[in-house]
């Protein structure tokens, strides 16, 4: 028997001994308080642990208790997928950008207007 059980039994014994000394007004107040406490009592939800880090909750509030974690995880996953998609499809090829800048700097404007320049560009590809 642990300390809490022993103390509870001692308190119950003392209360039962002095039960005859309680006046009627106090007895009615105690009965009304007990009745009100029993009417407002709601049993707590049980949590069953199944291994390390896994638990099953009784009651219908489990989804709503974890919905914010689920939505946060989905948002992080979507952001990660979007950034990978952008990186793969919309990033500028650095070599092509360097070649374009070199060509634009070295040639005079007349070279771009010459029709044979287009033919020369097509032959170098």
Q: What is the pLDDT of residue 48?
A: 56
Confidence check: pLDDT of 73 > 70: yes
Pick from 78, 73, 121, 75: which is nearest to 100 by CA? 121
Per-residue confidence band for 77, with pLDDT thresholds at 50, 70 and 90: very high
With respect to residue 29, please indicate whether it lies within any of the assigned structural domains: yes
Per-residue confidence band for 79, with pLDDT thresholds at 50, 70 and 90: very high
| Number of folded domains that form the chain | 1
Question: Residue 57 CB: number of other CB atoms within 10 A?
Answer: 14
Pick left, alpha or beta for residue 55 (phi over 0 → left; psi -120 to 50 → alpha; otherwise beta). beta
**What are the helix (H) ranges across the chain?**
3-17, 24-40, 62-90, 94-106, 109-113, 115-124
With respect to residue 122, please indicate whether it lies within any of the assigned structural domains: no
With respect to residue 54, please indicate whether it lies within any of the assigned structural domains: no
With respect to residue 18, please indicate whether it lies within any of the assigned structural domains: yes
With respect to residue 33, please indicate whether it lies within any of the assigned structural domains: yes
With respect to residue 107, please indicate whether it lies within any of the assigned structural domains: no
pLDDT digits (tens, 9 = 90+) for 5-51: 888 888 888 877 777 777 888 888 888 988 888 888 777 766 555 55
With respect to residue 114, please indicate whether it lies within any of the assigned structural domains: no
Q: What is the pTM of this model?
A: 0.31
- Chain-centroid distance of CA 86 in Å reads 26
Q: How far is CA 7 from CA 1, 2, 11, 12, 56, in A?
A: 10, 9, 6, 9, 34
Structural domain including 23 reads 1-40
Confidence check: pLDDT of 123 > 60: yes
With respect to residue 112, please indicate whether it lies within any of the assigned structural domains: no
């Amino acid at each position: 028997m642990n300390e809490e059980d022993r103390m509870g039994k001692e308190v119950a014994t003392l209360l039962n001994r002095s039960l005859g000394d309680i006046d009627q007004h106090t007895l009615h107040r105690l009965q009304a308080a007990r009745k009100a406490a029993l009417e407002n009592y709601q049993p707590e939800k049980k949590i069953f642990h199944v291994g390390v880090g896994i638990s099953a909750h009784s009651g219908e509030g489990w989804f709503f208790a974890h919905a914010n974690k689920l939505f946060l995880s989905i948002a992080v996953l979507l952001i990660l997928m979007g950034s990978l998609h952008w990186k793969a499809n919309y990033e500028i090829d650095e070599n092509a950008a360097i070649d374009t800048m070199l060509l634009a700097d070295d040639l005079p404007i007349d070279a771009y207007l010459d029709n044979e320049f287009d033919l020369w560009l097509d032959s170098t590809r």
